Chains A and B, each alone.
Chain A
């Protein structure tokens, strides 16, 4: 009897203790690593076919990685989760492409939980983390906009446009949507991508601690890069094809362009500091951040999220302070960090860094990808291999690449 009572007490104490530990852990980890990254690995790629949007949501892994609000958004916008998953995968690919020649090569872990996707590096507020946040949010924006033009998401802004016009009040929702399309068409996809990306990606970031501010800023920076790289194209279709009537639209850039730009920003990222960073310089900062005539802005004002606009302004209306007061404060497209990057040369199990052991390097390069730097002075092991490569290729636009196969001797260097 005594034993059992003792056991129960012990159990409760233990459970309390572990629970409390978990709570403090969660609080500590707030803003460190976005769980939703997990959707990148949720389900096999063949399950992500746009033809079966319903099947994906039911995956159990999704339930564990998404927050309540994210689940709601996904439920309200069928097909959205596929797009976000696609976006996350594009982000990983692009990140690995951009960092293929760097010490840190954007390694992703075998999937456990969302925030661990990129390893423990995201626990640090360093440049690499900034890049991960920016590129994932940019990729999600991009992928949602693209999915809209594929018709994979049914809710892409087709009904919220011209919602307030008295002429177009429909009886039901669907009727209203059709009438609105007839009256004024649909608004553009990037606005939807931008807005949903904000809602979805920034869910967990409340913007209170410096780390959360950093995440918010970098997420926004990623989105602004997508937005600003949109290319305007126009077509005249007035009388006899003249420009009496001209219609313009924005074209989504290839994601590689955005990856390149973000890499540039990574190289020139701003080191910020927490001192006095709590100033809510709302007005000035906001006008600074939202360029005039931005599509997303117009969307924000007449979309379903209008009532949250005030809170949103508050959420994004902060100005970060640079560590060096002589530097300019970071702009809306700059990446920001507040911790120095750890060394990536050596293994660091605490941060999940594998080190540069076994990485290929370039003997002749004097850059980071050169063996001298890449191997951190450990030296490299040359290895002679015969590479079977394609050469003298003739290309056709899609598929048939007629090539000769050439064998070349090549010396590959790998870091010791």
Chain B
């Protein structure tokens, strides 16, 4: 386990370094002067110079990277070119809503994918399996930006059951927070759930076809005892991996859904930064999302190592 952990950790650190270089270069690959672009019509030589030296753009590239990275590690991502607010603060505000949406969506996804995927695999070829497979195939192909709008049309505008968009903090008003959460969480969760369903099904099916499953049946275990004690403990490993990937995706990849539902999350922030050419903000947002993504992957690897005795006790 020790060596495995160390190797995973090393990979993660390497990937993060690579990501940080890529993110750092955003500022330098942008054609033209990013700060001049950001200021646009509000150009003021004084502000320009201040921002420029604050971002350290007047120093050698490697030195800039070193400073930038050492600041970023401590959570200091500089100030927004647009608003002048510290980027770290802006990001911090967005973390809550994004985590809420991602958590709710994953909950929706898992509560569909686990039962449906397992039943589908155990009764593979049955009517239930075929319906579930067809539905998940349909839903994988649904564009989230379209289904989101359709839900708004149906549940908010036509039926008037739920608010069309916006975010309310659960600390302020739990009921309103939940009402605002339902549609975006369903939009993302249903799609994510149908992706997961397919993986759960194939992971369980794979374990069902293994020799040890036959051994368990030969010992006199019933079909469901076999599934519970022998199939699932093996299927968990791939399922946890994919669920982790999905969570990582939900924490930063639901840009479009956050835009549609005016959800103040990280993805939306990154998008706004692109539209307003606020490159320092974009750097911060992309770096944080990628870091969260890599950290989740690391945790998933550790969890899988723990679930798999061949890794845990070689």
Do chains A and B stick together as partners?
no
Residues in B lying within 8 Å of A, measured CB to CB: none
Residues in A lying within 8 Å of B, measured CB to CB: none
